[in-house]
Amino acid sequence: MINAQLTLLLEIQDLKAKLKELRAGSDLGALERETFGIDLDEAASQLETRVEELEGQLSEPIRRRYERIAGHLDRVVVPVIAGTCYGCFVSIPTATAGEEDPNASLQTCEHCGRFLYILR
Ligand SMILES: [Zn+2]
């Protein structure tokens, strides 16, 4: 069972990554755009609206931390693999210690402050 706030953060992060791609125009060429009549500005504003909606569903303390991280870091959620935070590469064995499902509660890295998604 993944924490609902963690799920939200992962969705926001994914939509923001997609938004960045759209703005960079990296995944659609001019030909495809013309052929399918895709309006990238329209698509981008749809994504922006969804991101704002999801951000609005974050609880107050989590949104505050999220905004602090999102202001200066590309990723707000990073995986922890074998006890290492993949945001700052500091070992945080306590993140996985003891809990049956470590993603059931929202955890943050004490070193870089990012939200953690734990893989074992
Ligand atoms: Zn970290």
How does pLDDT run across 47-73, given as a tens digit for each residue?
A: 999 999 999 999 999 999 999 998 888
Is residue 61 within 8 A of residue 99, CB to CB? The reply is no
- Distance (Å) from CA 64 to ligand 1 centroid: 18
pTM of the model: 0.84
- Distance (Å) from CA 112 to ligand 1 centroid: 4
- Distance (Å) from CA 56 to ligand 1 centroid: 25
- Distance (Å) from CA 6 to ligand 1 centroid: 16
Distance, CA of 43 to CA of 37 (rounded, Å): 11
Q: What is the DSSP string of 51-77?
A: HHHHHHTS-HHHHHHHHHHHHH-S-SE
Give the tokens for residue 45. 């504003």
The per-residue pLDDT for range 23-51, each reduced to its tens digit, is 886 556 666 666 667 777 888 899 999 99
**HSE-CB for 110 with a 13 A CA cutoff:** 6
Is residue 54 within 8 A of residue 16, CB to CB? The reply is no
Distance, CA of 53 to CA of 101 (rounded, Å): 28
- Distance (Å) from CA 53 to ligand 1 centroid: 27
Region of poorest pLDDT, from 20-29, 63-72, 74-83, 95-104: 20-29
- Distance (Å) from CA 32 to ligand 1 centroid: 39
Confidence of residue 12 (pLDDT cuts 50, 70, 90): very high
- Exposure letters 98-120 (e unless 16+ CB within 10 A, then b): eeeebbeebbbbeebebbbbbee
In the predicted model, what is the mean pLDDT of the chain? Answer: 88
